Structure 1
C-alpha cells in the first residue's frame, strides 16, 4: 500500500514536469554552467602550460568550487578550499613517505587526521570536504605530482575562480534588488486593476482572481528579502559590489515600504471580494476609480523605479485628481484605511525615487 502511494506521488510529480519547467531550469543554470566550464578550462590550461603540470586536477576543481559558491561568499569559499587542500596534501605526503600502501586501515586515519588539521585552522564544511578529498588524491595518485604542484594548482584554480567571481561574473547588486521590485509592483498593480474591473462589472470570480494574484505577488516579497540580503553580501565582498554600494544603499533604504504596500494591496483585494460576495452587482463609482489610479501609480513606479516622478504629496494615487464620478458606493472605513496605507507607502517610494534621481553621487 505504501509502495503504491509512493508510486502515485512520483507519477504526479512527473506529470507536473513539462517542457516549460525544463526550459526555466536551463535558462537559470546556463550562465553558471558556461562560466564554470570556461574558468575550469582556463585554470587547467594555465597550470598545464605555464607550470608544466600534466594533470592539474586541483586547478580546475578549485576554480569550479570558487565560482559555484553563493553570491557574496566566493572569496570565503576560496580560502576554505585552499586550507582544505593544504591540510590534505600535507597529511597525504606524510602517508606517501611512509610507503605503507593505501589500504583501508591507513586511509581512514589519514582522512581523520587531515580533517582534524583543517578544523584547527578553518572549521567549515568545505574545508573538511577538501581536506578529505585532497588526502585521498595524494595517497592514491601522489606519485604523479609533487606536493608543491598540488598546492600550486589549488592556488592557480582559486585565483582564476576569484577573478571570475569578483570581477568578470559578479552580478550588479542594484539590479539584484530592482528587478524583483519592478515585477512585484507590476503584479500588485495588475491585481488592483482586476479588483477595480470586478467592481465595475459585478464579477465576484474576478475579485477572487485579484486576491490570488495579490497573494502570489505578496508571497514573492520573501524572495525580494533574499535578493536584498544577497545584494548586501555582493556589495561588501566583491570589487564591483563595492563600487555600487552607495547606489545600493539609496535603492535599499525605502524598500521596507514595499511590505506595507503589499499588505495594503492584499487587504484591498480582500475588501473587494467581501463586498461583491455580499452584493454581486456592478458598482461603478469612486472606489474602482481609486483602485485603478493606485494601480497606475504602481505601474509608473515599476517602469521608472529610480527616476524622478511627480513629487508633491497627494491623497490621490499618482498625484492626479479624481474625475467627476458619482461617489456611490462609498468605501467602508476599513477599506479607506487600507487605501490610505497603500497611498502613503506609494508616496514614500516615489519620494525616495525622486531623491535618488536627484542625488549627484555615482
Structure 2
C-alpha cells in the first residue's frame, strides 16, 4: 500500500510534465519533419544538388521545438552561415603550414564577429560551424553550395513559420493562462471537499496541488515571452501586437500574485482546519465553490463567473484568527482573478443593462 502511494505521488507529476512537454512539442516536430523533406526536394529539383543535407538541416534548425521565435531563428541562421563562409574564405588565404592554428583562428574570428550582431545564439554558432566546414571540406562543398542549401531550408522554414503555421500570439497566452486556472480550480475544489468533510489531510493535499501549479505559472511566463516574440517576428503577430502587449503586461503583473495568494490561502486553510479554532466562516463554502467553478468555467471558455461580495461582518473580527487570515488570502485571490475573466456583480448588472438597451 505504501509503495503504491509512493509511486502515485512521484509518477503522477512526472507523467503530467511529460504530457505537457509532448503537447507543446509535437506540432513543431511534425512541421520540422515536413519542412526538412520539402527543402530536400526543392534543393534537389531547383538547384540540382544530389544530397542537399544542409537544406534539410536548416529547415529543422528553423522549426525545432522550444524556440521563442522561428522567424528570428531563420534570419539568424542565414546571417551566421554567411558570416562563417566569408571568414572561412578569407582564412583560406592564410598559410596552411599550421592547419589547426588556421581553423582555430577562423573559428574564433567568425564567432566573435557574429556575436557583435546581437541576434541570438544561433548566429555565432552557425558562423563558427561554417568557418570550420569551409576549411575542413573546402569551399566547393561548404561555400556557395551550402549557402544555397541554407537559403532553401531557411526559406521553407520562414514560409512555415510566417504563413502556414504561424501561431496566434493571443491564443498562446490564453492557453497558458487556462492551464494555470485548471490547476487552481483543482486546488480550490480539493479545498472545498476538505471543508465539507472537515478533513485536514485533504486540505494538505490541496496545498500540494497548488504547489504543482508552479509549473503552469512558468509555462504562462514562457507563453507571454513567446507571444511577444511572435507579435514581433511574424506577419500575423504584427496585426495584433498592441493587443498582445496589453494582455501580456496585465497577466505578467497578476499571474504571480494569483498563484502566490492561492498557495498562501491553501496553507492558511489547512492550518485553520488543523487547529480547529472555531467554526469556519459562513460564506467560505459558497465563495470556495464559486472560485473553483469559476476557474474551471474560464478554462473551458464558458461564461464569465461573478464574484460573491464579501459581507461586512466577516471583514470585522467575527471569526477566529486562523480563519480571518484564510479569508484575507481568499480575498486577494478573488481580486487577482478579475484579471483572468471574473467579474463583479455591479459590472455584470451594467453589462446586462447595456445589452438590453442595445436590443
Task: Give the TM-score taking structure 1 as reference length.
Answer: 0.74
Which of 217, 230, 245 aligns to 1:234? It is 230
Correspondence 1:272 to 2:272: no
How far off is 1:208 after superposition? 0.7
How far off is 1:52 after superposition? 1.8
Tell me the equivalent position of 1:39.
35
Distance 2:301 2:279 in 1: 34
Contact 2:280 2:323 in 1 (8 A): no
Distance 1:170 1:90 in 2: 32
Correspondence 1:339 to 2:330: yes
1:325-362 CA distance string (max 9 Å, x none): xx999984323322332333334532499899x9xxxx
How far off is 1:168 after superposition? 2.1
Tell me the equivalent position of 2:144.
148
Correspondence 1:201 to 2:192: no
Correspondence 1:86 to 2:78: no
Helix, strand or coil at the partner of 1:350: coil
Tell me the equivalent position of 1:128.
124
How far off is 1:259 after superposition? 3.5
How far off is 1:224 after superposition? 1.3
Structure 1: 5+ residue stretches without partners: 1-14, 318-326
Tell me the equivalent position of 2:175.
179
Tell me the equivalent position of 1:67.
63
Tell me the equivalent position of 2:105.
109
Contact 1:202 1:283 in 2 (8 A): no
Number of residue pairs aligned between Structure 1 and Structure 2: 332
Helix, strand or coil at the partner of 2:34: helix
Contact 1:83 1:122 in 2 (8 A): no
Distance 2:334 2:142 in 1: 68
How far off is 1:95 after superposition? 5.3
Distance 2:327 2:116 in 1: 61
Correspondence 1:298 to 2:295: yes
Change (3 A) 1:39 1:314: same
Give the stretch that moved more between structures: 178-187 or 92-101.
92-101
Distance 1:126 1:47 in 2: 22
1:175-209 CA distance string (max 9 Å, x none): 21111222222322222222222222221111111
How far off is 1:50 after superposition? 0.8
Give the stretch that moved more between structures: 133-142 or 40-49.
133-142
Distance 1:136 1:203 in 2: 66
Task: Give the TM-score taking structure 2 as reference length.
Answer: 0.75
Aligned-residue CA RMSD (Å): 4.1
Distance 1:314 1:299 in 2: 16
